Chain A
Amino acid sequence: MRLTCPLCGPRDRREFYYYGAADYLDRPAADAAPEAWDAYLHLRDNIAGPVRDLWYHDQGCGSWLVVDRDTVSHEMLSVRAVAEDRA
């Protein structure tokens, strides 16, 4: 499997650290209801098909990445830098 890092170009997946669903970007407000924090911390869908998750270019440039990919076809749909997305 290969990921195209927006900074480094196409690289083997061994360079990347997989974190999990991109839900982790949407941190609730400090005073949000416990249910919101529960969902944020613990509830994830297990999707067959297009998913969006977080990877870290650990052995490369140090960018956190949002990766859209398809767990059925293994197709890489897009890779974007989190920081650029949020800027």
Chain B
Amino acid sequence: MASLIETPPCGDLLPVIVTGAQLVELRPGPVLSIAPFHGQAAAVAAILAEAGLDWPAPGTSGVGGSLACLWAGRGTAFVLGPLPEPLAARLAGHAALTDQSDAWAAMQLRGPAAEAVLARLVSLDLRIAAFPEGAVARAPLNHMAALVRRSGADRFDLWVFRSMAQTAVHELKAAMTSVAARG
């Protein structure tokens, strides 16, 4: 039987490299959205704790082993990586679980100019004191709904809707070029 070939969201659009900044595709693997039902937050947190994950406070993320857990909106977190099947099964009664693995184009912007590049597209206060490593925000990237996470002093993980990957790369590339020109 024939098998279907996977096409990544950004594919040959990336990487983009300029002086001071690089934009590369991220392959986060499985992405599971977890949205606890009424009164179930503690139960969900307890199950996630078994995987070494904390339920993230708004605007934060955490790492546990090969998994990461990102706050992703009102009462919602994304678990990145393969959550063990028994744990996922136990979560089922406590939270709405939705596979978001294919919904997003994830990329990483890194380099000393990364913050300046993002300042051209994102209205967030990205200063490290206000948006430290691990911080997460749902915020628009120009006109695109996005999720921004600071994954290092000079690196950001950016998530946009899969269908907007091409526009996101175009916008980021323009900002990168402009910042690079300032030297």
- Asked if B123 and A60 make an inter-chain contact with CB atoms under 8 angstroms apart, the answer reads no
- Chain A residues contacting B124 (CB-CB under 8 Å) are 11
Query: 8 A-B pairs, CB-CB below 8 angstroms?
Result: A8-B59, A11-B139, A15-B140, A59-B145, A60-B139, A61-B58, A61-B74, A61-B138
Interface set of A (CB-CB < 8 Å, partner B): 7-12, 14-15, 57, 59-63, 81, 83
Distance A9 CA – B140 CA, assembled complex (angstroms)? 15
Distance A63 CA – B74 CA, assembled complex (angstroms)? 6
- Asked if A7 and B139 make an inter-chain contact with CB atoms under 8 angstroms apart, the answer reads no
Interface set of B (CB-CB < 8 Å, partner A): 58-59, 73-74, 123-125, 137-140, 145
| Known pairs A59-B145, A61-B138; A15 contacts B74 (CB<8 A) | no
Which single residue of chain B is at the shortest CB-CB distance from A2?
A: B123
- Chain B residues contacting A11 (CB-CB under 8 Å) are 123-124, 139
- Chain B residues contacting A9 (CB-CB under 8 Å) are 59
- Chain A residues contacting B123 (CB-CB under 8 Å) are 11-12, 14-15
